[in-house]
Structure 1
Amino acid sequence: MNEPVIDMRAWRQFVAVAEELHFGRAAQRLHMTQPPLTQAIANLERTLGLRLFDRTQRRVQLTPAGAALLPGARDLLQRAQQLPRQAQAVAAGEAGRLRLAFVSTVGFGLLPPWVRSFRQRYPQVALELIEATGDVQLAALARGDIDAGLLLHAPGAAPAGLARLVVAQEPLLLALPEQHPLARAQPAHAPVDAAAVWDEPLVIFPRLILPSLHDAIVERYRAAGRAPQVAQEAIQMQTIVNLVSAELGIAWVPQSVRQFQRPGVVYRAAPAPAPTCETSLVWRADACPPVLQRWVAHVQAAQAGAEG
């Protein structure tokens, strides 16, 4: 059985009569004459197959069915009134959904204030945050599962074919077990002695998840005529630091990781020239909805404010 199709005008007329409980006043409110309104309510009752009002010469009352319909009809009219504003907000990037992936290092400093201020400014945007390594982010971007990603890479080695905004540049530090001789042999601000680094067991991320930065670290060893002695691989920077605290080896980590204060671990400047890394916000140039444009502009403004 097909459900009856009732247009918005009929619901607006019903609500007016239900609230006024007087056909004459309801007609004035709707800027129409009373006979067409009376006919319209009769047509609505016929379409629904039930009486909405009990009428006498002296008064108009809602039937139980009419009273039951009134809250839903009001809600329908209110939502219909809001639709144009909602559509305009989405078109302006002030409402909608933004799916943003990020590497863990961004969470140590950059991301929290950006998210906080963005949510305050655009409360109608549903911001979905997904922690993911760079390889996972690139695959998700290709599938359209995320709108943008924040990922690490070596300077000048951002993934090809994507629009991007560099949001951070930082050197790599050495994370050392607290009791390791390299952690105690020189002042905390001084670089670690290069000759003592190359034969130390290394905790490092797999090349698959961050190839350009992995290669930059390996090249630093090769330039010294050595090969890294990989003791353990781990995906997340927090896990790498935790393994350093367990004295499995030393690790090269972005400077921002220094904010992750793990007991049993100290951070020291790496031997010069220390590799550096960049963090970029990346997205598909052919898929940049208005809400993502707002996010990019927000990040740019935050950077400009920090630099100023």
Structure 2
Amino acid sequence: MPHTIRIENADLIVEVSTLGAEMQSLKTADGRNWLWNGDATWWTGRSPILFPIVGKAPGDMLAVNGTTYPMAQHGIARRREFTLVEQNTNACCHELASTSETRAVYPFDFRLTLEHRLDGRKLSVTATVENTGDTPLPFGIGFHPAFLWPLPGAENKLHAVTLDNGAEPGVVQLEDGLIGKTLPTSPFKAGRLELSHSLFDNDALIFPEGGGTALTYGAEGGPSLFFTFQNLPNIALWQKPGAPFLCIEPWHGMAAHAGGTAELVERPYTLALAAGDAMRFGFSVEIGR
């Protein structure tokens, strides 16, 4: 049965479930929780890991060399029990390894390790993917953390996302959850996006490239969260319209193209990891004072 691991330091307290190695809470020492609470009225997720796909597959079917397998949105890892392999006061590490059950829907051998680590007011989450088989391992990976909107103590304040690189990245439109056309204009202006619930009337905002490696999510004259990303070129923002959270999602991989193939290797930004190799991906979030 799933159980929860607690790590903490003088500034932060984090709880992580063994189910999906999913973070359950991110609290500052004053007791305020900055992470979405998973209220089923809106969305039961809190911070799922997305593997071996990000987004949807056509008809929820994934093809590998012409053979199709059932694959729900965002993959299999978030619904599986991880094993706790390491824990100390301010860090924990969970692992998911391939089994006959996973190979029935994703025919590869792998090990996925997820580490949560605290350093002052910063939480770092790192995923390591290892190819434990003898053939190339195709996959996508992403993070899907949801943070409160409004942030604690910032009710009735304007919230915005600001890219460190000042860019105005292109945004794609989803068509039944699949990647559609690129829209003619970016919602970012000089790297800044003022948030409103209407932005998400047509599902997530997905930026395939140009979002950079760092951003700030914060309230005008109020608290802010500072993010950095490692090896994650795609960024998405999502809210179930009207819900009191904002998902800030760094990815390496995206949904299949609308009207395109179900083949895993042809999904945008899919990686191919050689036998015996490993790759690391991660994000950090620091809570401003």
Q: How high is the TM-score relative to the length of structure 1?
A: 0.21
Q: How high is the TM-score relative to the length of structure 2?
A: 0.22
Greater Rg over alpha carbons, structure: 1
Structure with the larger strand share: 2
